Chain A
Amino acid sequence: MSTSIALAGNPNSGKTTLFNALTGARQHVGNYPGVTVEKKQGFCKTDSGEFDVVDLPGTYSLSAYSLEEVVARDYIVNEKPSMIVNIVDASNLERNLYLSVQFLEMGIPVTIALNMMDVAQKRGIEIDIEKLSILLGVPVVPTVARTGKGKKELLDTIVLRKDLNPEPVHISYGSDIDMALDQMVDIIRSSGFLTQKYRSRWIALKYLENDQQILDLGKNENPRIARELESIAKKLTSHLDVTLNAHPEGIIADHRYGFINSILKQNVITFYQDENRLQLSDNIDKIVTNRFLGPILMVAVIMGLYQFTFTYSELPVGWFENFFSRVSGMADNALADGLLKSLIISGIIDGVGGVLGFVPLIMFMFLGISFLEDTGYLARMSFMLDRVFRMFGLHGSSVMAFIVSGGIAGGCAVPGVMATRTLKSPKERLATILTVPFMNCGAKLPVYALLVAAFFAENEAQVMLLITMISWLGALLVAWLLRSTVIRGASTPFVMELPPYRLPTLKGLLIHTWERTWQYIKKAGTVILGISILLWAMMTFPGLDDQALKIFDTKRNAVTASVSENVLNEIRYADTDNLSEQASSVKERLTNLDMEEAQANLKNSIAGRIGLALEGITQFAGFDWRTNISLVGGFAAKEVVVSTLGTAYSLGEVDPEETQSLSERLKTAEGWGPLTAFSLIIFTIFYAPCFVAVVCIAKETGSWKWAVFSVVFNTTLAFGLSVIFYQVGSLILT
């Protein structure tokens, strides 16, 4: 039977690296039930035995303040792994042991993997491993996760010591607290209060630490005893407040660090250099976060990431597009005209192509971001930008998501929403996820290009800049609005470690990138395909009735009947470019009839009926039914607005890359003018994200509630802004 082990430790201690070293490719990523915290599981088979390995979220402590801490603690308590492997950064021993001590207090089987031994050595830190092991009462194995050194010794130790529950470590917290603890332990012991899962002294400690999760559990288990314990804790709290002006939580933390200190002082650790001596990292920071050079360098890095993600992914994106258009073409030839063909081409192939089309983008973006994260630069970016983003209730780390989504025009909200993974503060993260879709993604650009070319051709550059500014300002203000209403709450403290600069390993980067990409394909893929088919159906059904079809057929017959068989054959078989005059005029008339039919069909479809029905309201923003339908189509992908407008104006499906004919048509079309055009631009900036982004929002927030919110809220906001703009504009202009 395989041994279950759980890896736990501080962020940046090398947990993931050790996990990869142990499991290699035999790993998969999921979520802990009901929360968005990632759960990595893997399997490891060596001469030492077989192991099921779980990588717990990185935490500094085991209080119940953050989701990660609750998840890690619950896993240990409920799943009872045979061994907790506590990864401790040897170059940062004192702080890392703060978590270790809390494991020791729980009385669970722990082995310490003393990682980063190479770094410690380089910094002139020597650790007496045997002594540390004796004083802590648990095995300590030195490792270098990056090279796999110490892996075998670690596994052998685990096999030797698994399932042995050691006596919990008792730390003295000073006479006041110790007395209260003893008193509480008596009560807990005699009543068996929560003792199936937890040690009695640990429960008492959590009552003193005011640990919400344990307090709630206690109330459920036995309200009477819970009240008794709470009153002891309350009495102690007020006593300490009067005598020492301190809180039990604070005193407990002080004593934990005191305990660590007393161990380290017994010659366990020797510094051959000053502990706070300036490291290479600090010297790099002097330049990288410098008041003047820092921001310049940051702009360069952002541009670089942008270039990397969107330029280098162009080639593979092109391959995907070619591939899918070829498949489309094959289906076009192989199948008879009709609904099935339309479903397969417009519904399924376009849908699958839509899902996979994002894959290269997501891969490149995560490769770039993982690189910045692993080197430690991302933390510096948040450090430099926090002041700005904080004003709007966001976090320094939000910047990445905004940039990727199209903060510089041309990004994409799908990888943008996924980029919020690096944000550890839940409220700021949610606000970021909900506002990044306002950025100017690559798919919105053809819409802007069409309208700008038709109505603002003289001031093209200025108008594009204006659009970028409106979307940034709008996003930040909406973030602020959300953070003061629906996602209200104090900002998450910026008490954050700036990890030393490190060169990432290729293996680490690739595993990370692949994991993210695969998750996207697996989770988002199926939903997106479904919605794509649904949208296809909305734009197709119910179709024209027989009478209408007959009218088009009659018209077609009238055209073909008026010319000779020769001309018809010419149209059918000859090269399009050198048709005779008569043939090309007939062909044009036939094509026009096809486009008219497509327009009539679209108008009669469900989407068309919605568009018509909404005309009464949307006229206040200057939109007629044609615009409405195209906006419904834009929910599939924003550039579809352009092709649908083409169909609605009987121009056939307009290629978003070549919009000249459509923009000429719009210039003279009834109801169009600069005012309508800009109103539509505003609407396009703010209205519902495309459904691929919506699905990602649902996956990343862990709830469809926020996905629905973003559709409804954004569309309402967009409509409100467009109406205000159009109405005020009309007043001024007349």
Chain B
Amino acid sequence: MTVINLREMNIDQTGTIVSVGASGELGRRVRDMGLIPGKQIRIQGRAPLNDPVSLRIMGFTLTLRNNEADYIKVEV
């Protein structure tokens, strides 16, 4: 089991969130959408220019920019 940045995950890879380092508005938004430690995610796809990324969590699809994904550590 290794811990990596959400940005480094591949399409269709699954993992469990370990920590969310974001604070302020970004932190609040990320948490409101359920990106909190312990949640399972799966990378769904990336935009044509590789950024943002879309991922699956709790049965719905969420988008996130790469520089926002950097705050989230995932165990894969």
| Chain A residues within CB distance 8 Å of chain B | 60-61, 63, 65, 91-92, 94-95, 98, 123, 247, 249-250, 253-254, 257, 275-276, 281-282, 285-286, 289-292, 294-295, 383-384, 386-388, 390, 490, 492-498, 500
Q: Closest residue of chain A to B26, judged by CB? A: A493
* Contact A282/B61 with A276-B56, A295-B48 known, Cβ cut-off 8 Å: yes
Q: Closest residue of chain B to A252, judged by CB? A: B31
Contact B47 A495 (CB under 8 A): no
A65 to B27, CA, bound (A): 11
* Contact A94/B58 with A289-B48, A383-B52, A384-B47 known, Cβ cut-off 8 Å: yes
* Contact A94/B23 with A387-B49, A497-B61 known, Cβ cut-off 8 Å: no
Contact B65 A494 (CB under 8 A): yes
CB distance from B15 to the nearest CB of A (A): 12
Check B44 for interface membership: any CB of A closer than 8 A.
yes
User: Which interface residue of B47, B52, B68 has the most chain A CB atoms within 10 A?
Assistant: B47
* Contact A498/B48 with A94-B59, A98-B32 known, Cβ cut-off 8 Å: no
CB distance from B59 to the nearest CB of A (A): 5
Q: Closest residue of chain A to B30, judged by CB? A: A495
Given A95-B60, A492-B25, A495-B26, 4 other A-B contacts at CB below 8 A? A94-B58, A253-B32, A387-B52, A497-B33
* Contact A94/B34 with A383-B52, A497-B60 known, Cβ cut-off 8 Å: yes
Q: Which residues of B contact A254 (CB under 8 A)?
A: 36-38
Contact of A92 among B23, B49, B58, B64 (CB under 8 A): B58
Contact of A282 among B27, B40, B44 (CB under 8 A): B44
CB distance from A8 to the nearest CB of B (A): 15
Contact A257 B54 (CB under 8 A): no
* Contact A498/B61 with A282-B44, A387-B47 known, Cβ cut-off 8 Å: yes
Contact A276 B33 (CB under 8 A): no
Q: Which residues of B contact A500 (CB under 8 A)?
A: 60-61
- 6 tightest Cβ-Cβ pairs between the two chains A and B: A253-B31, A387-B49, A61-B32, A498-B61, A60-B32, A495-B29
Q: Which residues of A contact B65 (CB under 8 A)?
A: 386, 390, 493-494
Q: Mark B35-76, 1 if CB is under 8 A from A, else 0.
A: 111111010110111111010101111111100100000000
A495 to B36, CA, bound (A): 13
Contact B58 A63 (CB under 8 A): no
* Contact A383/B34 with A250-B20, A498-B54 known, Cβ cut-off 8 Å: no
Q: Which residues of B contact A492 (CB under 8 A)?
A: 25
CB distance from B70 to the nearest CB of A (A): 12
Contact A65 B60 (CB under 8 A): no
24 contacts between A and B (CB under 8 A): A60-B29, A60-B32, A61-B32, A63-B28, A63-B32, A65-B28, A92-B59, A94-B59, A95-B33, A249-B23, A250-B20, A257-B34, A276-B42, A276-B59, A282-B61, A291-B48, A294-B48, A383-B47, A387-B47, A390-B65, A490-B25, A494-B63, A495-B35, A500-B61
Q: Which residues of A contact B26 (CB under 8 A)?
A: 493, 495
A500 to B56, CA, bound (A): 12
Q: Closest residue of chain B to A298, judged by CB? A: B48
Q: Which residues of B contact A275 (CB under 8 A)?
A: 58-59
Contact A285 B59 (CB under 8 A): no
Contact B48 A249 (CB under 8 A): no
Q: Which residues of B contact A253 (CB under 8 A)?
A: 31-32, 36
CB distance from A476 to the nearest CB of B (A): 16
Q: Closest residue of chain B to A387, judged by CB? A: B49
A497 to B64, CA, bound (A): 9
Contact of A386 among B20, B39, B45, B47 (CB under 8 A): B47
* Contact A247/B45 with A98-B32, A253-B32, A383-B54 known, Cβ cut-off 8 Å: no
Q: Closest residue of chain A to B31, judged by CB? A: A253
Q: Which residues of B contact A257 (CB under 8 A)?
A: 34, 36, 39
Q: Closest residue of chain A to B39, judged by CB? A: A257
Contact B63 A496 (CB under 8 A): yes
Q: Which residues of A contact B48 (CB under 8 A)?
A: 289-292, 294-295, 384
Contact B33 A65 (CB under 8 A): no
A92 to B62, CA, bound (A): 12
* Contact A98/B34 with A276-B56, A494-B63 known, Cβ cut-off 8 Å: yes
A495 to B35, CA, bound (A): 10
A289 to B49, CA, bound (A): 11
Contact A92 B44 (CB under 8 A): no
Q: Which residues of A contact B39 (CB under 8 A)?
A: 257
A91 to B64, CA, bound (A): 22
Q: Which residues of B contact A387 (CB under 8 A)?
A: 47, 49-52
Contact B68 A95 (CB under 8 A): no
A383 to B53, CA, bound (A): 8
CB distance from B54 to the nearest CB of A (A): 6
A500 to B61, CA, bound (A): 8
Q: Which residues of B contact A286 (CB under 8 A)?
A: 45
A495 to B65, CA, bound (A): 8
Q: Which residues of A contact B49 (CB under 8 A)?
A: 384, 387-388
A257 to B65, CA, bound (A): 24
Contact of B29 among A65, A91, A294, A490 (CB under 8 A): A65
Contact of B44 among A94, A285, A490 (CB under 8 A): A285
A500 to B44, CA, bound (A): 13
A390 to B64, CA, bound (A): 13
A281 to B48, CA, bound (A): 18
A292 to B48, CA, bound (A): 7
Q: Which residues of A contact B29 (CB under 8 A)?
A: 60, 65, 493, 495
* Contact A249/B30 with A295-B48, A383-B54, A495-B63 known, Cβ cut-off 8 Å: no
A495 to B40, CA, bound (A): 17
Contact A285 B47 (CB under 8 A): no
Q: Which residues of B contact A276 (CB under 8 A)?
A: 40, 42, 56, 59
Q: Which residues of B contact A282 (CB under 8 A)?
A: 44, 56, 61
Q: Which residues of B contact A390 (CB under 8 A)?
A: 65
Q: Which residues of A contact B34 (CB under 8 A)?
A: 94-95, 98, 257
A384 to B51, CA, bound (A): 8
Contact B25 A65 (CB under 8 A): yes
Contact of B27 among A247, A291, A383, A496 (CB under 8 A): A247
A494 to B46, CA, bound (A): 13
CB distance from A434 to the nearest CB of B (A): 23
User: Which interface residue of B29, B44, B49, B61 has the most chain A CB atoms within 10 A?
Assistant: B61
A387 to B47, CA, bound (A): 9
Q: Which residues of B contact A60 (CB under 8 A)?
A: 29, 32-33
CB distance from B37 to the nearest CB of A (A): 7
A98 to B57, CA, bound (A): 14
A60 to B30, CA, bound (A): 11
CB distance from B36 to the nearest CB of A (A): 5
Q: Closest residue of chain A to B37, judged by CB? A: A254
Q: Which residues of B contact A383 (CB under 8 A)?
A: 47, 52, 54, 63
CB distance from A292 to the nearest CB of B (A): 8
Q: Closest residue of chain B to A281, judged by CB? A: B61
A386 to B53, CA, bound (A): 11
Q: Closest residue of chain B to A289, judged by CB? A: B45
